[in-house]
Chain A
Amino acid sequence: MADANSNKLTTRDLITTGVFTALYFVVLAVFGQLGALIPILQVLGPFYIPLICGIVFVLFTTRVHHFGMITIMGILVGLLVVVTGQSWVVAVLAVVLSPIADWLFNRASGDAPAKIGTTVVTYVIFSEMLIGMVVPLFFQREAFFERLASRKAADWVSSLEAMTPPWMFVVMIVMIAVGAFLGVLLGRAIFRKHFAQVAR
């Protein structure tokens, strides 16, 4: 049963982690793909994807009582995202950021329901792994644009270059944070509305 005092992850905790990771990833993929169809959404992606996935994350945290679950989820999500065609930077960030998020969450909460501040900080840190998706665009710019320029389409290259100035990178980091914050708010509201009363 719930061994709140022991620090060990039970088999059931691990299965729960797997279940919610699958859910998180499917939601991420379904809503992330919208951006592929409607280009405008791709720009807003860093904002709305953490927001929507935040609903799943908040539900997950209501079942997290031990260190390890958030870390495992983070690593698996990072891995899945990379395997489906994103930069390996996402996986590296996942390995670095998820344990930090996990530690913060479990240190503050223990067995009591998490405070909103804790959940927000945890999830913001967790979500920032997604910035890895655009890292190649910003940090390998010179090589990238050089390759393109060599194909002799100066207009094309300069317009793309103009569209993605380095400070956009910082903007995207902020977008993820804001999206994550709102995601937690929304997740908690939905939890109270639906899941708190259907006690499971």
Chain B
Amino acid sequence: MALGDALSYRNAPLVALDPRTSGLVLILVNVICLTAGFDFGAMCARIIVTALVTALLAAEKRWHWVMIVAVGTGLSLVIEAFGFQLISGPVSLLIAMCANLAARFLPIVGLGTYVLTTTTISAFMAALRRIRVPMLITIPFAVVLRMIPTVANESSAIAESMRSRGLRLGSAPARDLLEYRLVPLIFRTVDLGDELAAAALIRGLSVDQERTSTSRLGFHVSDFVVLLIAVAATVLWVVL
């Protein structure tokens, strides 16, 4: 499975979140994971948030991610909280730093993957329109979401082709290798970008024309539940 495919929409999800809910939850999860410390309230918040992300991923049967987030974060939290009481020295420092990074990143990345693979670009565009973001921003935003998986796939293909040809560290000067790694990627991206642009313009995309949205937005029970959990976690962290 190419890297890019892991970053793009897959199929209609079980729990369809409105992009606005996703955005809010992403912010809250980001803040909690990056700034909450070790006191009781903070730990509660972090655990709740991790559980939430795991539950969402499980609903989509993304078992690999469930493992990574649940086990990875759990383990890292344990190490971070208690680990260095047991060992000391530079090794423990390194382990603690890695655990720290993992505990903070994994839920965020897990949630990000969840949102990306269950939300369509149309939904994003519709949501942005609803909160009155101008086409000036919506168009580049949609194009970014559309192109990141494509660029990632091209990048993997080029990396593989370099490996296949025997171009690895040591077989050529680093500066040349960097050039070989990036130049075809830039050519490919520009070409694919031009094809996308030509097609989009031919299909009437225009910064001057407001688009109709047919994506069914709106808050459902699932939105309220998820939002409630995220807010509850935040409140716990702040209050306790």
Interface residue ranges, A against B (CB under 8 Å):
9-12, 14-23, 25-27, 30, 36, 39, 52, 55-56, 59, 68, 72-73, 75-76, 80, 82-88, 136, 140, 143-144, 147, 150-153, 155-156, 159-160, 186, 190, 194-195, 198, 200
Contact = CB atoms under 8 A, between A and B. Distances in A.
Nearest to A79: B141
A55 B182 contact: yes
Interface in B89-139: 89-90, 92-94, 96, 101, 104-105, 108-109, 112, 135-137, 139
B108 A84 contact: yes
A19 B189 contact: yes
B183 A194 contact: yes
A81 to B, nearest CB: 11
B21 interface: no
A16 B108 contact: no
B155 A14 contact: no
A36 B101 contact: yes
29 contacts: A11-B139, A11-B207, A12-B197, A14-B136, A15-B140, A15-B196, A15-B200, A15-B201, A17-B143, A19-B147, A20-B193, A23-B186, A26-B155, A52-B182, A56-B186, A83-B26, A83-B108, A85-B30, A88-B30, A143-B37, A147-B37, A147-B38, A147-B39, A151-B84, A152-B85, A153-B85, A153-B92, A190-B182, A194-B183
A85 B144 contact: no
Interface of B: 26, 30-31, 33-35, 37-39, 81, 84-85, 88-90, 92-94, 96, 101, 104-105, 108-109, 112, 135-137, 139-144, 146-148, 150-152, 155, 175, 178-179, 182-183, 185-187, 189-190, 192-193, 196-197, 200-201, 205-208
Contact of A15 (B34, B112, B143, B183): B143
A112 B206 CA distance: 27
B194 to A, nearest CB: 8
Most buried by A among B140, B143, B208: B140
Chain B interface, DSSP helix/strand/loop, else mixed: helix
A166 to B, nearest CB: 19
A151 to B, nearest CB: 7
A160 B93 contact: yes
Contact of A76 (B89, B90, B135, B141): B141
B139 A14 contact: yes
Contacts of B26: 83
The 7 lowest CB-CB distance pairs between A and B, nearest first, are A18-B143, A19-B193, A22-B147, A18-B140, A14-B139, A147-B37, A85-B108
Nearest to A48: B178
A85 B104 contact: yes
B144 A21 contact: yes
Contact of B186 (A18, A59, A82, A86): A59
Given A10-B207, A82-B30, A83-B30, A22 B143 contact: yes
Nearest to A194: B183
B112 to A, nearest CB: 6
Given A15-B200, A22-B147, A151 B81 contact: yes
Contacts of B208: 11
Nearest to B81: A151
B31 A88 contact: yes
A39 B139 contact: no
Contacts of A12: 197, 201
A141 B38 CA distance: 15
Given A22-B151, A25-B148, A30-B155, A190 B179 contact: yes
Contact of A23 (B101, B136, B151, B207): B151
Nearest to B143: A18
A18 B108 contact: no
Contacts of B155: 26, 30
A174 B50 CA distance: 37
Given A22-B151, A52-B178, A151-B38, A80 B144 contact: yes
